[in-house]
Structures are given as C-alpha cells and as structure tokens.
Amino acid sequence: MHSAPRSLLLKGVSFGASVFLTGVSAALLLTPQSPLGLSLPPVGVVVVCILFVIRGYTVVPGALEIRRLLWTTRIPLEGLKELRSEPGAMRGSLRVCGNAGLFSFTGWFWNKPLGIYRAFVTDTHRTVVLRLAKRTLVVSPADPEAFVRDVEATLVR
C-alpha cells in the first residue's frame, strides 16, 4: 500500500475548520432559543468528512484501490492512456463538487491543463495524474515515482 501523507496545508485547514464547526455547534447548543437540531449540522460536516479521509492507495492488477476510513473505492485502470508524476497538478483548480480541504481534497475539480478530473488527494505537492479513456484522476501517494512504477508493473503483464 502507498500511504497518503497529509500536507501541512491539509492539516491546518482540517484543524481550523474542525475547531470552527465544532465551536458553532457548541454555541448553538448553548443558546437557549436555538433548537437542538440546528447544532447538529456543523459537527455533522466534520464527521462525514472524516469518514471520507484517504488512508492510502493500493495498486492491484487492473485497478487502483483508494483506501478510505471504513471502505475502499476501486477504480478500474482499463484504457489507461497516460500516467505521470506531476507535482502541483491541482494548481489553479476550481472545485466543481467535493471537499476542498477538510481531511482531504476529494471530488470533481477543473483546471485548464487537466479539464474535469476526480481528485483523491491529501498532499497537492505529490500528485500523480492518471488519464483513462473516459476520465482523469489525480492521487497523492507518499512516493509518486514508486507509485507510477507499481501501476506500470501491473499493466505490463
């Protein structure tokens, strides 16, 4: 398994947002006029984002497995057209739908060089781009070059 290191930016955003959202929940809970149900959504966002955290990546024959906290997302690598280590591949990206820094950078993003792509990233400086026939993925293993070699080794059989 290739680990998914957390960048200093990700740690800072995660810590700051968690403290803020938990504080909002606590303040709403302690306000006598506030219904109990209003205090749950902010802390609920933190809990849901923790569940989607990326723990690592496993390369298996014909697929990439993204290890989450409680489950694994399997991405078939059929039709892989391009595979490259590209530090900072997410630079200049706009979030289309997803999480932009609360425990991970996950979801669909867009930038000019990649177009629409799906990110499973914890460190935006250690990114690997995988262009498949119908989609583009960006991941961030601890050692991008070793990850690329492992993917290539499973495809050359």
Query: Residue 17, by phi and psi: left (phi above 0), alpha (psi -120 to 50) or beta?
Result: alpha
- Residue 36 is predicted with a pLDDT of 72
Q: Which residue has the higher pLDDT, 31 or 83?
A: 83
d(CA 98, CA 90) in angstroms, rounded, equals 14
Average pLDDT for the chain: 93
What span, in angstroms and rounded, lies between the C-alpha atoms of 54 and 49?
10
Residue whose pair of structure tokens reads 């947002």 in the numeric block: 17
In this predicted structure, the answer to whether residue 37 has a pLDDT above a threshold of 80 is: no
Q: Where do the domains of the chain lie?
A: 1-157
Residue with tokens 């960006």: 138
What pLDDT does 105 receive?
Answer: 95
Residue-wise pLDDT for 45-91, tens only, equals: 999 999 999 999 999 999 999 999 999 999 999 889 999 999 999 99
pLDDT per residue as tens digits for the range 86-116? 999 999 999 999 998 899 999 999 999 999 9
Which residue in this structure is represented by tokens 């923790």? 50
